[in-house]
């Protein structure tokens, strides 16, 4: 059994987004990959994106960086 945390936060400044990323990255070494090296593998991840969902028309998010469990 695992305990899983899922968080999706939007910020108005890049500085706040990067601050949240730093806190999450500090925990990444303790996070595990579930069922590694199997078809059911699930990797934990941290993604920072530029979000354009408030635009008219709405645009897709642009990934700035992505980190995942090993």
2-59 pLDDT, tens digit each: 999 999 999 999 999 999 999 999 999 999 999 999 999 999 999 999 999 999 999 9
Residue 49, pLDDT score: 98
Q: Are 33 and 69 in contact (CB under 8 A)?
A: yes
Residue 35, pLDDT score: 98
Residue 67, pLDDT score: 98
**What ranges make up the beta strands (E) of 13-61?**
45-50
Residue 32, pLDDT score: 97
């Amino acid at each position: 059994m695992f305990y899983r945390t899922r968080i999706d936060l939007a910020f108005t400044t890049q500085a706040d987004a990067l601050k949240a990323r730093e806190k999450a990255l500090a925990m990444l070494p303790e996070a595990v990959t579930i069922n590694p090296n199997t078809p059911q593998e699930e990797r934990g991840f941290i993604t920072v994106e530029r979000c354009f969902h408030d635009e008219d028309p709405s645009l897709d998010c642009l990934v700035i960086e992505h980190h995942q469990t090993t």
